[in-house]
Amino acid sequence: MSRLSLSQFLQQQSGNLTPALAQVIETIGDTCKDIDLLLQKGALAGVLGSAQHENVQGEEQKKLDVISNDYLIDALKVHPHVGGLASEELDDFTPAQENGDYLVLFDPLDGSSNIDINMCVGTIFSILPAKNAVTQAEDFMQAGVHQAAAGYVLYGPSTMMALTVGAGVVFFTFDPDSQEFLLTKDAITVAADTKEYAINASNQRHWEEPVKRYVDELLAGKTGPREKDFNMRWVACMVGDIHRILCRSGIFMYPYDFKDPKKAGRLRLMYEANPMSMLMEQAGGSSTTGRVRILDIQPTELHQRVPVIIGSKNEVDLVTGYHN
């Protein structure tokens, strides 16, 4: 059976997709192939372990965090259609080409704590329209609803890309023989109801009351107010958790908590929450902070954090209702 390659698929799309945007997406895909190769080699390539310093978030960087970030920066900053880049791993944005059509934001290696134990990790990307001929920091301050495209690459038992250009969500699987991302599923739909949830339960004592109430109801199962049993899943990699929800529904929560009250949330708005929210909404799901729709948030800084409650619409609506 013949399958469309990523390039062939992009040639057939319309809507948000311009030839320039297609080229940017292809470059991201090609770079992720290089990251995938290094991940496959693992210890054989000497790329495991700590880089011995922290990123702008105050988190320990892994060697592959740094390498993945460098790969994406090097490939995209010379791209004729990219005006500027922003990475979760860097303090400031990286200027690219004058008169570039798009701005690219990314988390080069989500879930990097999984690297050294050979568990799934991923690359998340968000593409915004460029505002000016020469990119300034304020040009990145666009609400997620303005994204031209978003997606992720999951490095797992098979390497997959999830992509939206504003006309639904599709999956590609990387074929080691042809070295191409091939279309394997389109029209991804997330069911409105679910029996699976994902949350870091070790933070339970720090949660706000609405989240405690919701999770207590799930734990009560058939004998509780929900009258059905739920299963908990937690991959410690947002890409892995969101991919599971896109495949079989569910809800993922990294809510606001009082562990560090100065932080508005754990996840970054522009590198994680916005692209994942665009994917989820395009698949029929929902995404809020517990109080407001994530894609409507006007960013005020490059590394802004937000709470995230995302997944099957009826569950997200219920948690949001408990907050409001």
Annotated binding-site residues for substrate read 110-113, 200
| CB-CB contact of 30 with 104 (8 Å) | no
Q: What is the DSSP code string of 39-93?
A: HHHGGGGT--SEEEEE-TTS-EEEHHHHHHHHHHHHHHTT-TTEEEEEETTSSS-
d(CA 218, CA 206): 18
Helices (H), the chain: 6-12, 19-41, 63-76, 209-220, 238-248, 274-282, 313-323
Q: Which of 303, 295, 244 is nearest to 86 (CA)?
A: 303
Would you list which residues are annotated within the binding site? 88, 107, 109-113, 200, 272
Would you list which residues are annotated within the binding site for Mg(2+)? 88, 107, 109-110, 272
List the structure tokens of 267: 């996840």
**Regarding beta strands 102-110 and 82-87, do their DSSP bridges make them parallel or antiparallel, or are they unpaired?**
parallel
d(CA 62, CA 55): 10
